[in-house]
Structure 1
């Protein structure tokens, strides 16, 4: 069994609200092993993206630990965290909004290399190689994001994330904005990159069809808590919780595969009713 790269233990994330605090993540624990893929799934408001933001330290958790190769980064001051940031990178859901529209694809991918001290020639060489790696021809490298399709923009985002030489990529709904055929291409690219580099993925999605294709381990979240976890195939073949069964039914709906939440399909059946019923409507802040 591969060793642990990321260990999240009893993670709690709170947001200040009038009259107190709202707990968006409540005691979540899981482990991402080297060169493997763990998926976090759940409907909007389940805490998936909040966990991702805490792992890359866009927000600081209220309690709990985030161990990266044994070092707890949850409470590290920025000065000590900065040298470690290249080890964990994120691929965002919106492949256009996350790219600087004024820069070329080559410049976008080269920027992390600049921050790590590469000279101009080295940046250009490495950035071009990364764009080639994700399937973008040299003739496109000087184009700006608006000149690319959604799938091509996501490939630029992947190349940019890889430029830092990460050990872990946090993929926050990285395929949900893409058409099904393009999703399949990006998933295959991610698998190829993992085979070639040994990078680990934390793959965040509400789409169990996609999750089944990419992950070996699965954590199901509801309202900021883990309701079920284990090997992906086992959880999907025989889920023990009504909430997981509702998500599994949703994966059979074509709307889910287009990244939309099929509320009619998610309505609980009589056998799925109870304390762990069908996914709710609420959004976390």
Structure 2
């Protein structure tokens, strides 16, 4: 029986940045695999390399070394002219719903823009078809028809993130990278966006790479989890197993620091670990 090819396989990924003192390694030989239709979460404190990996996977930055094999094609060294036709198949939802949308466009125009650039409507002048599809996507993420002609400044944070999700879905991607996609939102709004992502996966079979520090969210949405520290993998496996019985002290510290996820919105594990350390320091 043939083993299914995973949608994404990252192998020995290295990303370095030049600094005045020399090259700094942000990601150090990271390896993980995401089967089709599943969700893998990258977790760790601030500076652990989570977002750098996400940006490398969608080739917003070029890795220093390693492989990023997407549906059998290594994206790591692919030139832009060969990468461009693949870009519609992997999309990202960004952390900041306030800064990731063009303030000059309406919600419908924001969602229709990728339809003009990629997918079956790319390059066509059929504005009516693009408008109709954008309206369908906005409806799918729970925004009413009355919202279509409003600009980002007229929406709440949760509504803006829904527009971002609709825009990401416009090209019918196989992989959706969610880079702290709910961290800027209130707890009740986080829950609604999370439920939307689960529904979309159940309906379409889309695959997720989730970047998160909220372990409650990770538990709810991911199949597997990779724990990062200083750019390296310290633990990985099925989410339920890793969060229930972590084998590494660092993972146990992250779990303890998480406390009640509803009470720490917007705070990173590192901040909580430091706060816990100060609380135990004699006056």
The normalised TM-score by structure 1 is 0.91
For residues 155 and 58 of structure 1, the distance between their equivalents in structure 2, rounded to whole angstroms, comes to 22
Verify: 1:217 aligned to 2:224, yes or no: yes
Q: How does 1:96-107 map to 2 (within 5 A)?
A: 96-107=98-109
Verify: 1:180 aligned to 2:187, yes or no: yes
Q: CA deviation at 1:3?
A: 4.4
Match of 1:164 in 2: 171
CA distances 1:217-257 after superposition (whole Å, capped 9, x unpaired): 00000000000000000000000111111111122145764
Match of 1:155 in 2: 162
Match of 1:123 in 2: 130
Q: CA deviation at 1:19?
A: 3.8
Q: Which moved more, 1:112-121 or 1:178-187?
A: 112-121
Match of 1:85 in 2: 87
| Alignment match of 2:11 (pick from 9, 12, 27) | 9
Which runs of 5 or more residues in structure 2 are unaligned?
A: 278-283
Instruction: Answer whether contact 1:250 1:256 (CA < 8 A) is retained.
Output: no
Q: How does 1:249-268 map to 2 (within 5 A)?
A: 249-253=256-260, 257-261=264-268, 265-267=272-274
For residues 68 and 78 of structure 1, the distance between their equivalents in structure 2, rounded to whole angstroms, comes to 15
Instruction: Answer whether contact 2:210 2:222 (CA < 8 A) is retained.
Output: yes
Q: CA deviation at 1:151?
A: 0.5
| Alignment match of 1:56 (pick from 55, 58, 61) | 58
Match of 1:69 in 2: 71
Instruction: Answer whether contact 1:110 1:124 (CA < 8 A) is retained.
Output: yes
Instruction: Answer whether contact 1:24 1:223 (CA < 8 A) is retained.
Output: yes
| Alignment match of 1:109 (pick from 104, 108, 111) | 111
**Structure 2 CA distance for partners of 1:9 and 1:254, relative to 1, 3 Å:** closer
For residues 165 and 271 of structure 2, the distance between their equivalents in structure 1, rounded to whole angstroms, comes to 34
Which runs of 5 or more residues in structure 1 are unaligned?
A: 271-285
For residues 235 and 269 of structure 1, the distance between their equivalents in structure 2, rounded to whole angstroms, comes to 22
The normalised TM-score by structure 2 is 0.92
CA distances 1:156-179 after superposition (whole Å, capped 9, x unpaired): 000000001100000000000001
| Alignment match of 2:139 (pick from 132, 136, 140) | 132
| Alignment match of 2:245 (pick from 238, 243, 254) | 238
